[in-house]
Amino acid sequence: MDKELHTDIKTIARNAGISGFGDIFSAAIIFGTTIVMTRTVGAAIYGTFVLAKTTALIGSILGNFGMEKGLLYFLPFYKGKGNWNRAKGSFLSSTRLTAIFSFTTAALLFLSADLIAREIFRNPPVARAIQVLAFSIPGVAFIKLWLSGIQALRALKYSVLVDKVIRPVTCLAVLSLLFMAGLKLSSLVFSELISVLLAAVLAYYFLRKLFPLIWRETRAVANRRELLGFSAPLFLMESLNFILMRVDVIMIGIFLMSQQVGIYNAATRVAMLQLIPLASVNSIFAPMIAEYHGRGDLVSLRKNFKVATRWIFSLAFPFCLFVMLFPVPLLRFFGSEFTSGSKALIILAVGQLVDAATGPVDYLIMMTGHPKLTLSNSLFLALLNVILNLLLIPRFGIMGAAMATATSIAVVNLLRLAEVYYLLKVHPYRWNFMKPLVAAILAATFTYTIFVRNTQTISWLIFAMGMLSYFAVYIGTMVLLGVPEEEKLVLKALIVRLRPKVHP
């Protein structure tokens, strides 16, 4: 293994490890927060909140207009070239444009909340929740932008601290206080709003700390046209990706009751956990792609793509099989009325597995200068998802929504995988993918035979024992099959990161 590849793998491992621990912590807090919400207010009120939050998230996408992707690309790109004038111009231009777009969108959503609640969801309580969350749109837009700046400068610990620790902890703390005050739906929306505003302030503070000394003396060269030209197709892509990912919730809200929205969203929460490895690797791999592309180093890009995808698959695949073994106990955490979404959960988990197993293909296409191709993919697949949801939800309910979403996710990622091979002549798969595949199947077979096959109702004790045995068999089998050199680098990087520092 050459020295440069060794260094890059350690960089990805170290930073992905930081992000991964942050993602796990955040997922645990958010999962716990969701359990507190569902067990306190029930599926119907929780579903109302989900509809309002989804509507506000649409507003945040409009309010950002893809500026965070533009900053994520241009800041490391110009940094790699040593052009700090353009780098500073990218930051200032993207911040000003985000302010214009986000405040305008927030005002429009606030004014149209009653119309949306009455004509689209036929659920009057949604209107007040949407109006409160409209105030969060600028905060969410700036969080995305400024954390992209932190990500571009590779200081992932600040991004993790703000978005994965402080924000979810604040939300849970405020939620608990408001629940003790006797509030229900209001506690959900105000805890979300307060956590967003605090995270936005901290994101800006930490980003400013990261700017080098030369930043103050550098005269910014505005590049609004360049930013808009790059970000506009990516904004459309993100909008279409949102349709791809969340149109199911919107359409369940249109065709079914808010209770079904709550049950389906709980299933989605569980299925999305297996994307933590993908998000962790993407957070550091995306700006590295831009730097590789900026200096024309496609060899390193291809090698690291293979390594990163195998890490992701090694964590996502065993989680998917675990979900398939225990869907009902996992949903029972949210309350007994949520277990009816177990079949939808299994379908969603399979769709998310395809996303994880294809690795960071979307960033690879986008960060190597093909935003229009990414837009074309998203346009086709958003239409596919809308059509499938329209056809399947009225007939199959939340099962239909899960089938539509899983199919769309699988198609988009397999298409991106083919395009990456065509454009860059690289695919992420090697024979060492067989190790996690064999280990997970062996662990699932053992756990099913001992704990699931002859059990009518899985108690909490059986679930706990099954979980411990499943992951013990998986990890043990992976060790017996041998740890590749790349994984040894990962473990060493994480041990160094976690080892307490002793100062003389």
DSSP per-residue string spanning 245-282: HHHHHHHHHHHS-HHHHHHHHHHHHHHGGGGHHHHHHH
Rounded to whole angstroms, the Cα distance separating 60 from 247 reads 15
Phi-psi domain of 207 (left: phi exceeds 0; alpha: psi -120 through 50; beta: other):
alpha
Q: In the numeric block, which tokens belong to residue 37?
A: 């919400």
Q: What is the percent of the chain where pLDDT is above 70?
A: 82
- Spatial CB neighbours of 28, under 8 Å, sequence gap ≥ 6: none
Inform me whether the pLDDT recorded for 472 exceeds 90.
Answer: yes
* Confidence band of 444 (pLDDT split at 50, 70, 90): very high
User: What integer pLDDT is reported at residue 283 of this predicted model?
Assistant: 63
Instruction: Report yes or no: 61 and 23 within 8 Å, Cβ to Cβ.
Output: no
296 against 192, higher pLDDT: 192
What mean pLDDT do residues 306-332 have?
88
Comparing 20-29, 115-124, 393-402, the range with the smallest average pLDDT is 20-29
Give 381's contacts (C-beta < 8 A, 6+ positions apart). Answer: 240, 244, 408, 411, 412, 415
CB atoms closer than 10 angstroms to residue 437: 15
Inform me whether the pLDDT recorded for 272 exceeds 50. Answer: yes
**Greater confidence, 300 or 267?**
267
pLDDT of residue 85: 75
Quote the pTM value. Answer: 0.77
- Please, which pLDDT band fits residue 39 given cuts at 50, 70 and 90? very high
pLDDT at 496: 46
Quick one: average pLDDT of 255-279? Answer: 87
- Let me know: does 291 contact 27? Beta carbons within 8 Å: no
Q: Determine the average pLDDT of the residues in 317-341.
A: 93
Average pLDDT of the chain, as a whole number? 82
| Arithmetic mean of pLDDT, 433-448 | 91
Cα–Cα distance for residue pair 405/351, rounded to 1 Å: 7
The angle subtended at Cα 125 by Cα 172 and Cα 115, nearest 5°, is: 120
Q: What pLDDT does residue 497 have? A: 43
CB atoms within 10 A of CB 397: 19
Q: Does residue 495 surpass a pLDDT of 50?
A: no
Highest mean pLDDT among 49-58, 280-289, 484-493: 49-58
In sequence order, the 6+-apart residues with CB closer than 8 A to the CB of 176 are 36
Read off the pLDDT of each residue in 16-43 and give the average, rounded to a whole number. 81
Instruction: Look up residue 362 and give its two tokens.
Output: 């979307």
Integer Cα distance of 217 and 274 in angstroms: 44
CB of 25 within 8 A of CB of 17? no
End-to-end CA distance of the chain: 36
**Confidence class of residue 489 from pLDDT cuts 50, 70 and 90?**
low
What pLDDT sits at residue 503?
A: 38
* More reliable by pLDDT, 50 or 151: 50
Lowest mean pLDDT among 234-238, 258-262, 311-315, 462-466: 234-238
- pLDDT interval class at 157 (50, 70, 90): confident
Lowest mean pLDDT among 84-88, 126-130, 273-277, 397-401: 84-88
Average pLDDT of the segment spanning 159-172: 90
pLDDT in the model for residue 322: 94
Between CA 459 and CA 464 the distance in angstroms is 9
pLDDT digits (tens, 9 = 90+) for 176-230: 999 999 899 999 999 999 999 999 999 999 988 877 666 666 776 667 777 777 7
Choose among 76, 93, 88: nearest CA to 214: 88
pLDDT for the residue 11: 55
Q: What pLDDT score was predicted for residue 12?
A: 55
Instruction: Tell me: pLDDT of 442 over 80.
Output: yes
For residue 377, what pLDDT is reported?
A: 79
Task: Identify the band that residue 19 occupies on the pLDDT scale cut at 50, 70 and 90.
Answer: low
pLDDT at 290: 63
pLDDT number for residue 441: 94
* Per-residue pLDDT at 501 exceeds 50: no
